[in-house]
Structure 1
Amino acid sequence: MKNVKYYMLLIIIMIIWGLNVPVLKILVDSLSPVTMTAFRILIAGLTVFIILSYLKLVRLPTKKEWMFILFASLFNVVLHHFFLTIGLKGTNSTNAGLILGSGPILTALIATFLIGRKISVWKWIGFVLGCIGVSLTILIGSKGVSGVSLGNILVFLSILTQAFSFVLISKAARTIDPRLLTGYMLVIGSSILIIIGFILEPNGLSTFVKAPTEVWLYFLSSAILATAVGHMTYNFIIGKIGPAEASVFLNLPPFITLIGSAMMLGETITSLHIVGLFFIVTGVLLGSGALEEIRKR
């Protein structure tokens, strides 16, 4: 019962993350995608540093930590958010939410090959089930099964680059607070994205001026709640209850995204979406090793 408060916080975070996908779809359709993403992440990074300053956790990284921070920023922020932003322009938030739900499986799979972690039969089954679910989702177009959608592929590349970055982050987090690491990554990654945005979208800032109040509210809530507070809180809770217990809750966002996409955007949920969701959720539970770890404990 001592972890109930952390479980409640995790549920709230998962709801926010699940709803953040249709919110991002609204933002990329209303604003210049790359420019919007760059400033959204910059605001998130500055918010993290304000909170960390209050907690007196801010310090300069060492030379070795800087190396991990730079590479993690490239994969976790720049490539991940660039592919996700462009991908959302070419697919719906329902598909994107399901594909993003495969993150824990990909992370475990990459860690297996790069770090040399042992893998059980149940994990392999989880990987296969997860791949089936992602493949089904990638094949679903906005109007049903219409061949492979480029938007879906880009969203998959976004979660693949993020999964790879988690291996780098796990090494860096041995010596630096994950919350501080998150702040540096967000600020550095957003700075690079701002440069990319100015090159690809010279008039990107003009779309902010014309944006209605509703879009601005979505923009700020995504930056502050979902990105800054959400990631900081999740990293903090991992340190309290362990990654295995926390990763089980990552099965919630795809469900929330399905509901949010239908209610906020009027998207159609097909039977293949439900089948894909089933395979992905089952794959995450088995492939991430969460159920095995909990059973052992």
Structure 2
Amino acid sequence: MPRWIYGLLVTVVVMIWGFNVIALKVLVHHFDPVTMTSFRIFVAGFVVFVMMGLIGKLKKLTWTEMKLVGAAGLFNVVFHHFFLAIGLTLTTASNSGLILGTLPLLTALMSMKFLGDRFTWFRGLGILFGLLGVSFIVLNGKSHLGQVSIGDFYVFLAALSQAISFILVKRASNTMDVRVLTGWMFLFGSAVLFLVSLAIEPHGLARFSNGNIQVWLLFLCSAIFATGLGHMIYNKSLQRLGATEAAIFTNLSPFFTLIGSYFFLNEPITFAQMSGFVLIILGVILGSGVINDQNKTQRMRKEQDQAI
């Protein structure tokens, strides 16, 4: 498929992830967060395995692939979600949103270090515009950035963990189907996260009785569409676009969360927030490599015309 189709798919996935934040806000009111997250990710992994089994893509993993799956599961599922959950209890939402907005920058820097990606001026400007846009959104309203706290550090570790996982997924995609990788990563990570939840949330399983039909339907939609299918599509697009370009699209997530809050939580949308969205769009256009691709195509056509 053309690159623009993968870009469109990533945009849809990020939209679902943005709306998923609204769903998670509801779910954590009924369930303990770490216990709920471990089960949600397990369901997502199960769904991925069923789909891969139906299309005949399941296969045995080599020892090298197992090590990559384990490492990606630890960083993408265990470390990311654990540090984020703890960090959110110790710092403000504004600080958390801004720090998580550094994910594309962290991914780009690591891609240059470990994958040999070229960091162009267009991508640099894209990351800068994306960060400015996220800042407009998360700093709007009464919240203001305060001093760096231990909570800020935990949220940074969450972003760093996810950036590392993107590099591991990209590297593992050289020898295995990333959709299969996603399923194994979820199953392994959810098992470890569940063991962690037993230690820090001893009554987490008992609280599952607090859920009604609507809450469980929301849980299943979050697990299947946002986590299972969403990450499967994102990781496949990451394989095609590259870690840096795919991560740029995550800057759209705060905007879709904003839209979801407006329709489902009756929260107003301000001019500052819309200004942030415009900056994010500029960041996606510059950072996704679209302009670079167009310039490269124009140069190739010019060279062909001169040769003729």
* Pair 1:81 & 2:75 matched: no
Structure 1 unmatched runs, 5+: none
Equivalent positions of 1:62-101 (< 5 A) are 62-88=62-88, 100=100
Q: Which residue does the alignment assign to 1:188?
A: 188
Q: Deviations over 1:41-88 (max 9, x none)?
A: 011011111111111111121111111111111111111122333445
> Within 1, Cα distance between the matches of 2:14 and 2:295?
23
Whether the 8 Å contact between 2:123 and 2:288 is mirrored in structure 1 is yes
Question: Aligned partners of 1:104, 1:8: CA distance in 2, in Å?
Answer: 18
Q: Structure 2: how far apart are the matches of 1:2 and 1:146?
A: 41
Query: What aligned pairs does 1:226-245 form with structure 2 within 5 A after superposition?
Result: 226-236=226-236, 242=241
Question: Match of 2:37?
Answer: 37
Q: After superposition, what is the alpha-carbon deviation per residue over 1:3-39, rounded to whole angstroms, capped at 9, x for unaligned? A: 8987775554343222111112222233101001001
Q: Relative to structure 1, is the Cα distance of residues 30 and 276 closer, same or farther in structure 2, using a 3 angstrom cutoff?
A: farther
CA contact (8 A) 1:22 1:261 kept: yes
**Alignment partners' CA distance in 1, 2:245 and 2:134:** 23
- What is the rounded CA distance, in whole Å, between the counterparts of 2:245 and 2:74 in structure 1? 28
Partner of 1:199: 199
Write out per-residue CA displacement over residues 182-212 of structure 1, whole angstroms, 9 at most, x where no aligned residue.
0110000000000000000000012210123
The answer to whether the 8 Å contact 1:25/1:89 transfers is no
Q: In the aligned structure 2, how far is the partner of 1:274 from the partner of 1:153? A: 28
- Would you say the 8 A contact 1:34–1:193 is kept in 2? yes
Could you tell me whether the CA contact under 8 Å between 1:91 and 1:142 is conserved in 2? no
Q: Give the whole-Å Cα distance in 2 for the aligned partners of 1:213 and 1:125.
A: 46
Q: Structure 2: how far apart are the matches of 1:41 and 1:25?
A: 16
How far apart are the structure 2 equivalents of 1:263 and 1:246?
28
**With structure 1 as the length reference, what TM-score do the two structures score?**
0.82
Q: Distance in 1 between matches of 2:237 and 2:82?
A: 28
**Aligned-partner residue type, residue 43 of structure 2:** I
Offset from partner CA, 1:242-292 (integer Å, 9 cap, x none): 459867765543321111023223445555544544444433443453432
User: Amino acid of the residue matched to residue 168 of structure 2?
Assistant: L
Task: Provide the alpha-carbon RMSD of the alignment.
Answer: 3.5
My pick for the range that moved more, 286-295 or 56-65, is 286-295
Change (3 A) 1:229 1:254: same
The aligned length equals 295
C-alpha distance 259-83 of structure 1, shift in aligned 2 (>3 A): same
Take 2:145 and 2:245, find their aligned partners in 1: how far apart are those partners? 38
Does structure 1 conserve the Cα–Cα contact (< 8 Å) formed by 2:6 and 2:241? Answer: no
Residues 268 and 209 (structure 1 numbering): CA distance in 2 closer, same or farther, change over 3 Å? same
Question: Which stretch of the first structure deviates more once superposed, 172-181 or 110-119?
Answer: 110-119
Matched, 1:256 2:243: no
Displacement after TM superposition at 1:163 (Å): 1.3
Determine the structure 1 residue equivalent to 2:303.
none
* TM-score, with length taken from structure 2: 0.79
Question: What is the 5 A alignment of 1:12-27?
Answer: 12-27=12-27
Instruction: Structure 2: give runs of 5+ residues left out of the alignment.
Output: 298-308
Query: Contact 1:141/1:149 (CA < 8 Å) preserved in 2?
Result: no
> Is the 2:133–2:275 contact (alpha carbons within 8 Å) kept by the matching residues of 1?
yes
Q: SS in structure 2 opposite 1:75?
A: helix
Q: Distance in 2 between matches of 1:152 and 1:293?
A: 37
